[in-house]
């Protein structure tokens, strides 16, 4: 595809990378799992927030699987904190699973680790 039709003053559009960030949501016996894949950053935090909020109020337990998250910035941290409060006020338990050591250290440093039960389990399995 040619970019010749774009005026020179406009930046060229970047192709959408399927590796940037995506979610896979599925139901297990007593919860819904939201698998995060990629970098949970300011560009992608709204996607996670919207996905989890759309599961409420029907869902009472949501597991966010962090196994495939390579990087998280302050917006990703903010999304997790916001979702924790949003879920809790609606009678839903939000849990993090498969949190690697780097993400666990980041959550601990920002005092968010204490919000999520069992978040520190490295390599935790689905219940």
Q: Can you spell out the DSSP letters for the chain?
A: ---TTS-TTSPPPPPPPTTSEEEEEEEETTEEEEEEEEEESTTTHHHHHHHHHHHTTT-SEEEEEEEEEEEE-HHHHHHHHHHHHHHHTTT-EEEEES--HHHHHHHHHTT-GGGSTTTT-TTPPP-
Q: Average pLDDT for residues 4-29, to the nearest whole number? A: 61
Q: What is the pLDDT of residues 53-108, one digit of tens each?
A: 999 989 999 999 999 998 999 999 999 999 999 999 999 999 999 999 989 899 98
pLDDT at 13 over 50: no
Predicted pLDDT at 73: 93
CATH 3.40.640.10 fits 21-115, yes or no: no
Average per-residue pLDDT in the chain?
A: 81
pLDDT at 34 over 90: yes
User: What is the pTM assigned to this prediction?
Assistant: 0.76
Predicted pLDDT at 126: 43
Would you place residue 114 in the very low, low, confident or very high pLDDT band (cuts 50, 70, 90)? confident
Predicted pLDDT at 57: 87
Would you place residue 8 in the very low, low, confident or very high pLDDT band (cuts 50, 70, 90)? very low
């Amino acid at each position: 595809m040619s970019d010749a039709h774009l005026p020179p003053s406009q930046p060229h559009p970047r192709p959408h990378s399927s590796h940037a960030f995506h979610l896979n949501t599925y139901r297990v016996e007593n919860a819904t799992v939201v698998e995060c894949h990629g970098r949970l950053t300011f560009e992608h935090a709204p996607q996670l927030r919207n996905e989890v909020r759309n599961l409420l109020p029907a869902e009472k337990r949501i597991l966010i699987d962090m196994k495939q998250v390579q990087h998280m910035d302050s917006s990703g941290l903010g999304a997790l904190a916001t979702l924790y409060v949003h879920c809790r006020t609606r009678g839903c338990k939000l849990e993090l699973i498969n949190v690697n050591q780097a993400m666990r250290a980041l959550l601990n440093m920002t005092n968010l680790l204490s919000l999520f039960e069992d978040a520190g389990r490295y390599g935790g399995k689905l219940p």
